[in-house]
Structure 1
Amino acid sequence: MNIIYIHGLDSDANSTKGILLESYCQQHHADINVYRPDLNSAPAQVFEQLVKLVTALNGKDKTVLIGSSLGGYFSTLVSNHTGCPALLLNPSIQPHVTLQRFAHEFLELPENQILHTTAGGWEITPADLQWFADHQLVSINYPNKIEVLLKEDDELLNAELSKDFYQTQGATVTVQAGGDHRFTDFGEQLPMVIDMLQRLLSA
């Protein structure tokens, strides 16, 4: 099995959850390969990069995505495009709305104006926000290949919105009490996560 871990907004290839996942698989599942691409690029490039990676890996072994936050958004897009199964952790479903916080009160900005630079070095511009607006999540093409894990007390994104969207589309959604946006108990949940991924691959 190949797992592609897709990090969130202020993260990179060395994200805590990605490293925890890789270490766990090295210790307990030698047959699982974990890939942690750095995705601090414009969204069109990220999407193209992920589709190419999924296509390349699928020729060798079964591949599944894990996407956290904004990575959950990209995982959904890539799954819709390729049919690749995906497990989503507190996914962002409206980045064209939530990332407007970086635009502040400015209404008319050059499309190459830098609004915010993430911890990983991605310089967000109005053109990026427009790309997200042009690629909104409106449907799920393979709902039987999508599972969602949400934390009820996510302080950054509205868990209820995500739950309603994915459930309405027919995906399996699990809402866990408490928690936070970063899924700080991810390490403890890895045995369950691997079970979920194996179930998705057999769907």
Structure 2
Amino acid sequence: MIVYIHGFLSSSLSVKAQLTQRWLAAQGREQEWVCPDLPPYPLEAMQILESIVQDAKEPPHLIGSSLGGFYATVLVARFRLKAVVVNPAVHPGLVLRPAVGLIKSFYGDQQYEFTQAHLQELHALDLPAPLYPEQILFMQERGDEVLDWQEGLAYYRACHQLVFAGGNHSFSRYSAVLDLMDHFFRD
């Protein structure tokens, strides 16, 4: 099972989630794709993700993008899973301070109230460094216009790393690295 964990205000309709689903389907592995539509509320999102992990017949592999990369890192620490984190959010309780207030999903018209309490939930989940760094492949594009790639590089310094010149927060070469991610999971 591959659990794709989308970023803040994203969904299973995101480009990377859909690329992952199509890539698995092309290999006859469509039943391996799981991508829950997560609420923007950290504790609720983590409850959903932990339930998926605990209900899985075998330990799932995680692909987390942006805030999903943060959640994947927390899940690795709790369950010692393997994860690929793509342009991951580092210390999102700080990064998402400007999001406090009424926010809208990127996919659909659903609105949410994101509060200071939600930032505190992120702070409570945050780790000083990734646990089990050998279980994490950090992938970053330096052209990320949303997150500071150097913070990610420093935070994930003990993990496997691939850092690419150019790109953007959407991780423009995502399709080109799916085989590599799968190889990491199977190693």
State the shift of 1:148 in Å. 0.5
Tell me which residue corresponds to 1:132.
122
Q: Letter of the aligned partner of 1:125 in structure 2?
A: T
Give deviations 1:38-79, integer Å, cap 9, x for gaps: 11241101111111101111xx23410000000000101111
Cα distance in 1 for partners of 2:113, 2:104 equals: 4
8 Å CA contact 2:4, 2:62 repeated in 1: yes
Tell me which residue corresponds to 1:182.
170
Question: Which structure has the greater CA radius of gyration?
Answer: 1
> Any residues of structure 2 matched to 1:34-113 within 5 Å, and which?
34-57=33-56, 60-103=57-100
Aligned residue pairs: how many?
A: 184
> Which sections of structure 2, spanning at least 5 residues, go unmatched?
none
Tell me which residue corresponds to 1:110.
none
Cα distance in 1 for partners of 2:85, 2:171 equals: 11
State the shift of 1:10 in Å. 2.8
Give deviations 1:69-115, integer Å, cap 9, x for gaps: 00000101111111111100000011111111124xxxxxxxxxx44
Once the two structures are overlaid, the 10-residue window that deviates more, 29-38 or 17-26, is: 29-38
CA spacing shift, 1:144–1:29, aligned 2, 3 Å: farther
Give deviations 1:141-190, integer Å, cap 9, x for gaps: 211111100101111100111111111xx211111111111012212322
State the shift of 1:193 in Å. 2.2
CA spacing shift, 1:191–1:27, aligned 2, 3 Å: same
State the shift of 1:119 in Å. 2.4
Q: Letter of the aligned partner of 1:194 in structure 2?
A: D
Q: In structure 2, the residue corresponding to 1:86 is in which secondary structure?
A: strand
8 Å CA contact 2:5, 2:62 repeated in 1: yes
Cα distance in 2 for partners of 1:89, 1:40 equals: 20
8 Å CA contact 1:115, 1:126 repeated in 2: no
CA spacing shift, 1:191–1:101, aligned 2, 3 Å: same
CA spacing shift, 1:42–1:102, aligned 2, 3 Å: closer
> Which sections of structure 1, spanning at least 5 residues, go unmatched?
104-113
| TM-score normalised to structure 2 length | 0.91
Cα distance in 1 for partners of 2:72, 2:35 equals: 13
Q: Letter of the aligned partner of 2:88 in structure 1?
A: P
Give identity over the alignment, percent: 28
Task: Supply the RMSD in Å over aligned alpha carbons.
Answer: 1.7
Tell me which residue corresponds to 2:104.
117
Tell me which residue corresponds to 1:192.
180
Cα distance in 2 for partners of 1:61, 1:29 equals: 19
Is residue 151 of structure 1 aligned with residue 147 of structure 2?
no
Cα distance in 2 for partners of 1:45, 1:84 equals: 20
8 Å CA contact 2:5, 2:65 repeated in 1: yes
Once the two structures are overlaid, the 10-residue window that deviates more, 94-103 or 22-31, is: 22-31
